[in-house]
Structure 1
């Protein structure tokens, strides 16, 4: 393994993120639902999410997203349907087809840049054989600037 620049460390995604909270929306809730079709894969942004009442939300509308979360599609990851969550979608719902990366101790913009790279896409696409599980995604190593 090559030597890292001073102040940098190897880390796993699980080392710099926390689990996403999942819950079923209440029937009367008004919500924005982000599914994989809501992602503009070229621009890497959320476009045209669904505005629904909780009672009408699909069963996959379970992952609570917040400003600066990073969404990574687990469905056909080679298509690189990813987005950095803007404040407009704070406290809304995303599909269980996403891994929601909630950064801790590292700027989420760095993680967003990482998941856009061809190396990351190749790494997670190589792991996928029908389904990619968060446990496998969290095993991927990357380099980060240490804040110690």
Structure 2
């Protein structure tokens, strides 16, 4: 499926029994492109599974203490590359009512809201025991590492299925049952390790670039407040 491109068809035929079984009557749900990607996954020689069989879904609500301080991750805090850019830090009594999911290092958070389905991120050590919005599905797995889950769910393999599973009127989203039926290929451990290493490297390089930017800003401040030689000395010391 490397060069496969989904094609939206203007007309197609489905049996009435299909609508009864799925309890859906919207035409988009039955687009042939969804069947094509699912059939391709099932044909993968390495094997496949549903999220229900491959991951642990952390869907229990957590009630924060009013006087304890927590980190809170919202949809807006998820970057396009799968990183968490920032978070809200406040006492439990001041957090939004949707701050009810506790996350841990290595978990993967997946947006359930249509329109932000690509908002998927890995929980790093700095956000261990943080809270996130109930607008996320929180998962981890013994079969697929966090980097592989991130890549698969952000690829068209995952995104098409997430979109297909969305339902609702005012706020369209993919519920837990539909989410658990998503199919993913089970990649070999060697390939998963390569993916995880690449993800880790990209995150580390991004952190380094952020630090270099902060150092440059501070050096400019020192140059203004003192002189350029002091700024250069300070900057050289940071690079050691």
TM-score category by the smaller chain? 0.7 to 0.9
| Structure possessing the higher relative contact order (Cα contacts under 8 Å, 6 or more residues apart) | 1
Structure 2 residue runs without a partner (length 5+):
1-38, 190-240
- Bigger CA radius of gyration: 2
Partner of 1:109: 147
Number of residue-to-residue matches in the alignment: 144
- Residue 101 of structure 1 aligns to a residue whose secondary structure is strand
Tell me if 1:121 matches 2:159: yes
Structure with greater proportional strand content: 1
Q: Structure 1 stretches (4+) deviating beyond 4 angstroms?
A: none
Contact 1:70 1:84 in 2 (8 A): yes
C-alpha deviation, 1:110, in angstroms:
1.1
Structure with greater proportional helix content: 2
Q: CA RMSD in A?
A: 1.8
Partner of 1:25: 64
TM-score normalised per structure 1: 0.88
Partner of 1:140: 182
Whole-Å Cα distance in 2 between the matches of residues 60 and 78 of structure 1?
17
C-alpha deviation, 1:146, in angstroms:
6.7
**Aligned pairs (5 A) from 1:1-148:** 1=39, 3-5=43-45, 8-20=46-58, 21-40=60-79, 42-77=80-115, 79-129=117-167, 130-145=172-187
Structure 1 residue runs without a partner (length 5+):
none
